[in-house]
Structure 1
């Protein structure tokens, strides 16, 4: 299964992440505001970001899919990431495995511009056309209203709440319908 698309929307290009995205990914993941509803542990060094990209490339090679860079067409800038991550036994979430976790993260400067929803719609369209044989889920911190709205706009429904031990957070569990 190889699912590494290059998707295009009106304002965005969505493509595999590479070392060309190192500075943009570091800039985003070092912003404390980006981590408010995560572990509250922003990235501290560029080497941490290099490791993230190296791990993504391994995932691309092993599984044929993974998180994707979101590039703003007008500026050509990396503004975030979106897409799917296959959850195996070692990455278990909510006591569940063998599913795609749909997620996204964006630089604080682009919040509120509709990019997350625009990119999510493109990814869900791709999923519906190419990947429906793999179960699709998502999660979000119970207080992250903006993220909840994105997930619900593209067809996810809350099915339960759970405590995400790895991050010590209370979350909503979403299933794609």
Structure 2
């Protein structure tokens, strides 16, 4: 069963991780955006990550998409720390230098729209790590995210080095689904016919 759908974005799509994309994903993880993240050296680890991405989506623990634009893998958008009962999730985008900020925003929005419509998620978080591009914060603000807190020295970048983390949040304005009981939508009298009224034919 396909738990992670392919979604169109301008100029490309976001799609489930697949073994055919390992070379593109390997290139992505050789150029990590996150401060302190080490470049990936073992391509075999990506096979395990792809398998794990299916398990995460199936159990509502997370979801990962590859960002494909102009015919190449330029990044990845993911949701993790998924708390299904609380209708909230934390998002993240990893991108190559070739990933434009508009592509980043389009990929993030497509993933969030799907999670809102399909799983009724209402509370989205995003963490910007000190040392990342300042333009990422502009993308978040254009999507409606607001900075909620700054955590001092909250992200380890080395054995003795730490970076600050800015926490952003976006709350969906869509109404939460209302639980209904069997019969709530029945129309009164829908099963009444002439025989039930005592008419004799």
Structure (1 or 2) with the larger CA radius of gyration: 2
Distance 2:54 2:113 in 1: 23
TM-score, normalised by the number of residues in structure 2: 0.69
CA distance in 1, matches of 2:49, 2:111: 21
Distance in 1, Cα, partners of 2:111 & 2:119? 10
- C-alpha distance after superposition, 1:35-93 (max 9, x if no partner): 3x332311111022223222212212222750111112x42x222111322346xxxxx
Residues 147-171 of structure 1 show CA distances to partners (whole Å, capped at 9, x for unaligned) of 2122111111100011434654311
Number of aligned residue pairs: give it.
162
Which stretches in structure 1 are left out of the alignment for 5+ residues? 89-96
Structure with more helix by fraction: 1
Equivalent position to 2:79, from 84, 93, 99: 84
CA-atom RMSD, angstroms? 2.6
CA contact (8 A) 1:120 1:150 kept: no
Q: Distance in 2 between matches of 1:79 and 1:41?
A: 18
What is the CA–CA distance in structure 2 between the aligned matches of 1:62 and 1:173, rounded to whole Å? 26
Q: What is residue 152 of structure 1 aligned with on the other side?
A: 141
Structure 1 residue aligned with 2:165:
171
Q: Which residue of 1 aligns with 2:41?
A: 44
SS in 2 for 1:20: helix
Q: Deviations over 1:103-126 (max 9, x none)?
A: 111122x13362101212222322
Residue 63 of structure 1 corresponds to 60
Correspondent of 1:122 among 110, 114, 131: 110
Mind listing any 5+ residue stretches in structure 2 that lack a counterpart?
172-201
Distance 1:126 1:44 in 2: 33
TM-score normalized by the length of structure 1: 0.77
Alignment of 1:131 onto 2:123: no
